[in-house]
A = this chain, B = another copy of it.
Amino acid sequence: MALGMAEVAYFLYRHAMRYNSTSPKWFNRDRFVLSAGHGCLLQYVCLHFASFQSVQIEDLKCLCKLGSQTPGHPENVVTQGIEVTTGPLGQGVANAVGLALAEANLGARYNKPDVAVVDHRTYCIMGDGCSMEGISNESASLAAHWKLHKLTLIYDDNHNTIDGSTDLALSEDISARFEALGWNTITMDNSEGNLDAFKNALISAHSETRKPTFIRVKTIIGKLSKKEGTSKAHHGTFDDDDVKQMKQRVKWDDREPFHVIPMVYRETRAQTDIGGRLEQEWHSKLNYYQNKYPEEAAEFKLLLADRMLPGWESSLPKWSMSDPVDSTRGYSGKCLNTLAKVLPGLIGGSADLASSNQAYLHNLGDFKQPDSPWGRNIRYGVREHAMAGISNGLALHGGGLIPFAATFLVFSDYMKNSVRLSALSHAGVLYILTHDSVGIGEDGPTHQPIEHLAGLRAIPHLLLFRPADGKETAGAYKVAIENRSVPSLLALSRQKVAANVEGTLADAVRKGGYIVSNKSEKELPEIILIGTRSELCLCEASANVLRKEGTRVRVVSLVCWRLFDRQPRDYKEFVLPSSVSKRVSVEAGSPLGWKEYVGDEGIVMGIDDFGSSGPYSEVFNKYGFTEENVTKTAKSLLTK
């Protein structure tokens, strides 16, 4: 009889127990990911037996209870020992590729011929559902391209998904697909309940030095239960009868629920003891490394501690009035490259738009094994979803990496769930999303983001910055790097904007919103114009026209809504006094959400339609984003 996944996973997790040590911060610790959540109970059981104290028998009894350590899908921020948050299908595969990539890159950069301070394997269990999702194919293609040979993917081939047999929607040869992608593939079709075959497959994977390994394990879902082999075992609960039958079949029928015989604890404790010794060995290695390679060790330990060199932020470029005009993507590229010199953790890439996004670290190489595994530029190809999922793995590896991921803002759509998971799992990914409005011009409406700012701003915790110039771009980078437990997203322009708009401040970005001009508290403005990015300059230009006519106009930059919302009431009142009800917001995107800042009497200048193909200035003009129209709109309010 074929294996049940519980047997396979327990076997693997028995190994994993060595690595679920008291400290997650050792780098030769193997990593284990269960893609999707269907095995979460199993994972919790294994964590219970590992040396972590986070999952107790009582926690196991509280599965899916509010506030428990054992939620319905595994969350790294809730349960110690869970590496990544993987409920939505396919994400875990991408995360695992990210973990393996982190290992390969850090190993190449810090290991020495005589001592390996980063040296571990990454295992991922994937079900049929994960295999169908596009993100898993994208990620698997990259894993093979990068030759991540320390990555092992175990395919739980139980022939069932929620709707029933996989015959309903799956007839491909998955092993052959992985082989075509460039993987070492092992199929265990006739495993006949033989864990030795699985063990041998793992050993074979270890000896592979050029390819990641895909092990297809034919399993039986709900093994031994009445629901055995059917999709009914996929979710839902086993009734009393069923549990009774299962217990009988394993000769366990005289046991109470949640009973663990001491032998199991003894056996698992032996594994964690081995783990303890391995961890100790690694610390000895680190000591040796520190003595022999003090310079590298200093940098490595900073990464390990997720800390930055003091004063790193002073490297950020500053712009003077005389600097040539560039796009905010251009200013971003400069920030990224100066930061890369002082932040060894900074690593990342673009989904085939490196030069368009200006998201390339010059002279720091492209990551690829075996030629340049130290490279800090990652070439993702046209695979946005994998890029974001892999970035989450890089961020959560614990190796102090600061991943950046770049594409056009409109294609944030392709990776939205992974961006959400960055926020949910505290992965401090830096999203560099350029070509951020109808300002993209000729490419037309399929490439012009409209609703994207609103949709991304609504993701809890995420910090979305839409900087107006070079200064605000640098300010956004500073806040992003300082806040590594949340993802940050920079929405950047294709078209050129001033490097140094009068009145903008890099340091004010941390407040999310601030007064750019007319700061007087004594004499309140008659009207407030609120903008982001190049539209802030429209506000300023319009303000200058209105001022010449004697109107008191304040201009406010609202570069990051969430940070502004978090400011004390006094500060918000200072920037946007409630007595000034005449307000206009100017942003070339969905108006959704702006009413919060302009109030009942205010006017939101936005775009609630798809854009148009054409030269960007003409497109801006078509949608009313001109100084003249801002002035006209402001006047309509003033004379109301």
Contact = CB atoms under 8 A, between A and B. Distances in A.
A142 interface: yes
B71 A444 contact: yes
A67 interface: yes
B424 A417 contact: no
A-B interface, 8 closest residue pairs, ranked by CB to CB distance from nearest: A134-B134, A87-B446, A455-B455, A66-B614, A169-B381, A71-B613, A451-B458, A176-B180
Contacts of A144: 171-172
Contact of A593 (B128, B414, B593): B593
Contacts of A13: none
A93 B456 CA distance: 27
Q: How many copies does the complex hold?
A: 2
A253 interface: no
B413 A454 contact: no
Contacts of A66: 612-615, 618-619, 622
A435 interface: no
Given A64-B442, A442-B64, A595-B595, A352 B162 contact: yes
A75 interface: yes
Q: Which of A66, A180, A384 has the most CB of B within 10 A?
A: A66
A595 to B, nearest CB: 4
A133 interface: yes
Given A75-B445, A417-B413, A451-B459, A145 B132 contact: no
Interface residues of A, number: 106
A458 B75 contact: no
Interface in A452-479: 454-461
Contacts of A197: none
Nearest to A136: B134
A137 interface: yes
A337 interface: no
Interface in A111-137: 128-130, 132-137
Interface string A128-168: 11101111111001101100000000000000011100101
A458 B447 contact: no
B138 A134 contact: yes
B180 A173 contact: yes
Contacts of A458: 450-451, 454-455, 590, 592
Contact of A446 (B37, B354, B366): B37
Given A446-B85, A446-B88, A417 B421 contact: no
A88 B408 CA distance: 11
Given A134-B386, A423-B610, A454-B592, 16 more contacts: A66-B619, A72-B447, A73-B613, A75-B444, A85-B446, A88-B410, A141-B172, A162-B355, A163-B350, A163-B352, A169-B352, A170-B381, A176-B179, A177-B180, A410-B417, A413-B420
A379 interface: yes
A570 interface: no
A582 B174 CA distance: 59
